[in-house]
Amino acid sequence: METQSRVAEMRQKLRDSGHRITPQRLCILEALLAANSHPSAEEIHAQVRLFSPTTSLATVYKTLDTLRDIGEVMEMEVGDGRSHYDGVHPQFHPHAICTRCGKITDIELPGLTGLPDRAEEASGYEIHTHRVEFYGLCSACHQQKEVIE
Ligand SMILES: [Zn+2]
Ligand SMILES: [Zn+2]
């Protein structure tokens, strides 16, 4: 399964960069990847506590920071005041964000492939972070809106 192979990949990267794999960390990786899409640290924490009740939110944040630093998770802010995390696709990709229900969806836009590298080349900057987000209504919210109106 895709989730399990991502967990294995992340464990390997953590080990290669000198980090210990604790049972708590493993739980956090699994919650990060199992959550439907782009969970916040709080959502991951709630999930982890079902299996590991002593894990603190601080530990979740620390693990997510570590994963971000080794390039295994993409952190993003979408305007709800919380960071959200994508561990399934840690490389640059654009997102669509629903302004009504907060759903975050990965979008594939082949024209944007390699955009950070192209931006770096065009600007002469050393680019550290980047994001491309589209805001609107997801299809479920869009349909609801039509029913109400
Ligand atoms: Zn929605
Ligand atoms: Zn994503």
Q: The tokens 């916040």 sit on which residue?
A: 40
Q: Most confidently modeled of 54-68, 85-99, 115-129?
A: 54-68
Query: Where among 61, 87, 113 does a domain terminate?
Result: 87
Q: Pick from 38, 60, 87: which residue ends a domain?
A: 87
Which ligand has an atom closest to residue 90 CA?
Answer: 2
Q: How far apart are CA 53 and CA 36, in angstroms?
A: 21
Residues 103 and 143 in one domain: yes
The residues placing their C-beta within 5 Å of ligand 1, an ion, are 98, 100-101, 103, 138, 141
The answer, yes or no, to whether residue 57 has pLDDT greater than 80, is: yes
- Identify the nearest ligand to the CA of 92 by its number: 2
Higher pLDDT, 131 or 67: 67
Ligand 1 mean position, distance from CA 49 (Å): 27
One domain for residues 8 and 34: yes
> Is residue 148 predicted with pLDDT exceeding 80?
no
The structure's pTM equals 0.83
Read off the pLDDT of residues 73-109 as tens digits, 9 standing for 90 and up: 999 888 788 999 999 988 888 999 999 999 999 998 8
135's enclosing H/E stretch is strand 133-136
Residues 53 and 68 in one domain: yes
The residues that bridge with 76 in the sheet, in sequence order, are 84
Nearest ligand, CA of residue 98? Answer: 1
For residue 136, which ligand has an atom nearest its CA? 1
Number of domains forming the structure of the chain = 2
Cα 103 to averaged position of ligand 1 atoms, centre (Å): 6
Nearest to 3 by CA among 89, 92, 91: 89
Note the pLDDT tens digit of each residue in 3-52: 788 999 999 999 999 999 999 999 999 999 986 689 999 999 999 999 99
Could you tell me if 70 and 2 lie in one domain?
A: yes
Domain that holds residue 138: 92-149
Cα-to-centroid distance, 56 and ligand 2 (Å)? 25
* Last-in-domain residue among 87, 114, 139: 87
- Cα(104) to centroid(ligand 1), Å: 9
Domain check: are 78 and 97 in the same one? Answer: no
- The enclosing domain of 77 has a CATH number of 1.10.10.10
Q: What is the pLDDT of residue 79?
A: 79
Distance of CA 108 from the midpoint of ligand 1 (Å):
19
Number of the ligand closest to the Cα of 106: 2
The CB-based long-range contact list for 10-15 (8 Å cut-off, 24+ gap) reads 10/67, 10/72, 10/87, 13/70, 13/71, 13/72, 14/66, 14/67, 14/70, 14/72
